[in-house]
Amino acid sequence: MSRTLRTAALTLAALPATLAIAGCQPDTDSEPTYREAAAADDDFRLRSDVEAALPARAEAFTADPDDNDARWAYADILFKLGNMWEADDVIAPLANPSSSNVDDLHLAARLAYVLGDYARAEPLYRRMMELTEAGSEAHDDATRGLALTFYQTNRFADAQELPAPEDSEGASSLITFMQAFEGEPYGIEWATGERIAHLPMTNDITVPGALPIVDLEVNGQTVSLILDTGGDRLYLDKGIYESLGLNTLTHRQARYAYTGGETVEEPLGVAESVTMGDVTLTNVPVVGATWKEIGQTSDGVLTTQLLKQFLSTMDYDNSRITLRERTPESLAQVMATLGDMPPPVQAPFYMTTTHLMFAKGSLNGHEGINYFLDSGLAMSMPMIVVDETVELLGLETNAIEGTNYYWTSIESHGLNGLTSGATQALGNVFVEDNFFWQAGFMADALMSHQYLWPLGSWTIDFDNMTYYFPAQESEG
């Protein structure tokens, strides 16, 4: 569910763009190669621009791996391409808490964060804060990174050490929320020793434009929520939020698809309990959403942070969501259900801001595409493309009468190992002027429910930062 979409027809939600981890410019004049690389980045517009610059940086690094400038520049371009695992390997020798180079620390910290290695990201961000002046861009980047690290590890109390925010948007509202939060978030209470919970999908998920709907209980009240991995915290319609008398800790300003890109004010509160079948979460962060009053029919959204507390399987074939304890034993159970002949498809993913998950794939035969996996696109089309990707691939666009959108024909698309054939994609949808570069790497396209459900099931493993899908029958 991407908050960046414009139309109410797309039931999507997320956090403000200001939570994106911004790039860091050099803070001294002693590293001209860094400055030259940063200046060259201004010329990077399309994926083809970055791909064209890659060989020279790779060659410089290979020629002299001991040249720290060449190493950083190579890791930096790999990051921009979304090749996070390779970039992390390249920057590793420069990535340590005793480093005195802010650029090295920032790139290494961002890579550790997006790859879910929060134990490594934290000391790098702390060192970056030590080396930079309060109020500087680099110091603010480090503060945001540390706040997000605390958020992902459910260490809200540690946010007390962070500087007091000056505004109500983005990382500032997140810090304010965590600083006001009492106790530990997302306590887990299982009803049975099996430690497995099932949430039946109550609607026909195969209908074009449909999203899975599940029933759960918030503070004992039954609510029906759509499943949407493009959202962050639990979203509840403001009317329900108010009727439950939830404790509001702060407010924030945000824009969403379903608000038509208009800014709305949202209360950020806490639910005492959220019961999902045989498991109950306690002390759960909640967003009060402007929802039903503008036409949404569900009671809210089941989002990434709730799924992240578990080893979560969207079992489309059996019309249910299965939640398991995050343990190696649970993962072995999942793998057993997928079988090994042929083996299931494993797709590594990375995650930026609070919840935006990306995995690699191809589009019209172009490899290395960064797909934003957002299961909450309520459309018959399986994906959204950005204008930069349309230009890259030379796609023909067709205006959709009465809207600002266009559609385009796609020959092939999909994650690595899960390529599908011809389809259509929607365009001119994202609210931001530069969604493509918003996170510092290229966001080429969004993949959603209409792509995912025919795959049979989708398991999200946040411990190993990997998706698991059943093996697919080969085409032809």
pLDDT given at position 259: 62
- Domain locations in the chain as residue ranges: 17-168, 187-323, 343-469
The mean pLDDT of 393-407, rounded to a whole number, is 95
Q: Residues of the chain with pLDDT > 90: what percent? A: 78
The mean pLDDT of 409-434, rounded to a whole number, is 93
Cα separation values, 226 from 199, 236, 296, 426, Å: 12, 11, 10, 21
Contacts of 89 (CB under 8 A, 6+ apart): none
Strands 366-373 and 445-447: parallel
Query: In 138-228, where do the E strands start and end?
Result: 187-190, 196-200, 213-218, 221-227
Buried b (16+ CB within 10 A) or exposed e, 349-371: bbbbbbbbbbbbbbbbebebbbb
pLDDT given at position 278: 98
At residue 36, does pLDDT exceed 80?
Answer: no
Report which secondary-structure segment, H or E, holds 86. helix 84-91
Task: Name the pLDDT band for 24 (thresholds 50, 70, 90).
Answer: very low
What is 187-323's CATH number?
A: 2.40.70.10
Judge whether 17-168 and 343-469 match in fold.
Answer: no
> Higher confidence at residue 74 or residue 258?
74
> Higher confidence at residue 424 or residue 98?
424
Peptide bond preceding 382: is omega within 30 degrees of 0, i.e. cis? no
Q: What is the pLDDT of residues 183-232, one digit of tens each?
A: 999 999 999 999 999 999 999 999 998 999 999 999 999 999 999 998 89
At residue 38, does pLDDT exceed 80?
Answer: no
At residue 467, does pLDDT exceed 80?
Answer: yes
Buried b (16+ CB within 10 A) or exposed e, 43-79: ebeebebbbebeeebbebbeeeeeebbbbbbbbbbbb
Q: What is the pLDDT of residues 283-315, one digit of tens each?
A: 999 999 888 887 889 999 999 999 999 999 999
Instruction: Please report, as a single letter, which amino acid is at residue 110.
Output: R
pLDDT given at position 168: 43
* CATH pick for 343-469 out of 3.90.199.10, 2.60.120.1440, 2.40.70.10, 3.90.1150.10: 2.40.70.10
State the maximum Cα–Cα separation within the chain, in Å, rounded to a whole number.
65
- Specify which residues 92 forms β-bridges with: none
pLDDT given at position 164: 65
Architecture field, domain 17-168: Alpha Horseshoe (1.25)
What is the Cα–Cα distance from 310 to 272, expressed in whole angstroms? 18
The mean pLDDT of 163-174, rounded to a whole number, is 68
